[in-house]
Structure 1
Amino acid sequence: MSERTFLTVPEHVAIIMDGNGRWAKQRGLPRTMGHRKGVDAVRETVRAAGDVGIKYLTLFAFSSENWRRPETEVSDLLGLLKAFIRRDLADLHRQNVRVRVIGERNNLQSDILDLLIDAEQTTRNNTALTLVIAFNYGSRDEMARAMITLAQDVEAGRLRSQDITPALINARLDTAGIPDPDLIIRTSGEERLSNFLLWQAAYSEFIFMPEYWPDFTRELFYAALETYASRNRRFGGLVEKTAAAVGT
């Protein structure tokens, strides 16, 4: 039973969770406190997405560029990710949430990699919301890795170059089997994708919100969904394509 009725609900919502550090600075707190408060916003958003019937929620948790941040901040971010999985995995499993992780896995520390694999394996048969965690993720890197596999197949004679199609490229991306995002939300007032889902965002709707991620609430999420529902998505044509209506 959802708390709100929307004319349409996107099948897939992706979020760039931005502004943790600025939220902390505004309050005279260490940046790490902003990241910790941001985890609470993650939990609330996952629950809200499930409540209104969204099928896929992708969260940009840690980019491939985030390794350039100060070592102490990177360590805290990784610690928060590990704590979130250890603390919340059982609850997500009870909610029938499936966890998928996208991003480069080579050279990850074994303790982190094992946790990510365990989260995917534990929840692999769940059928409600799919929570996609973009970790060590960069869209250009993702596309380059996909191109390498296609080139290897061409070199080995398993594939002709003229047979490469957008659908075949889709199948080689980290998001294979996941529909493209209908809606991408970014918090903190920044208005760019920052190397996030560049291929998949071809026909996504964008909503940029001024609030910092730790202040992101269920009501702000609902406001974004209401804005999305008011838009006319034509996908390059003249006929409107809408998502399925949902009720309470």
Structure 2
Amino acid sequence: MRIITTESYQEMSLEATKIVAGQVYLKPTSVLGLATGSTPEGLYDNLVAVHRTIGLDFSEVTTFNLDEYIGMAPENPQSYHYFMHKHFFDLVNVRPENIFIPDGCAEDVPAACKAYDKLIREKGGIDLQVLGIGRNAHIGFNEPDVKFEATTHKVKLDDETIQANARFFEDEEAVPRYAISMGIKTIMLARHVILLASGPEKAEAVKKAVCGSVSPAAPASILQLHQDVTVIVDREAASMLPEEYQHGAHEIF
């Protein structure tokens, strides 16, 4: 595990951009696993800028998103389909046929989950997976105590996650209670993982992910066992880590 601590959210986003852009330059046919939420917005803004200014080409890239709310239509402004098109897909040259997001409106959710994992395998697996982290250390929508061996599946959102996501809706009651998410096993099969975190509210989760015991109680802690993971955080998110990890870049183990 490598940890990069930056001075700001903007620097965190820039470091992530270097990794993702480098992946695409070196392998134009890369399969990218993508995350939604406020944390990766800066990454997407930067990738769009690189595409427009120096021609970063996404035409051969395939993307798989981590998750989607169950019952949320793609055209709903709160859906992750809508988010990804607004912040990234509609602004670069990813081919529509190469964009894959879990179907929150699927009639048979278990079958849709199995099909999603099968499609990832058929596309050669994920080369680079982008993750955020929840305040309860969830990754994707894998809440605490979800089994590590889970593949893409239906999840019930924790109260803490619902409360955190309420800021995107009219009120807390409007937040969906269920979602489809890549499972921990699916995430761990990615060849390279980058985990992004910003702000003091993520500090405890980052500590659990980087220094805590590997346990389903802190889903992100499993990343300690991944062969190639880079954690990129700003100083506020790194504030509960050991002092030596709160500045610069370090190989932890």
TM class, shorter-length: 0.3 to 0.5
| Larger helix percent | 1
Compare the two structures and name the one with the higher strand fraction. 2
TM-score (norm 2): 0.37
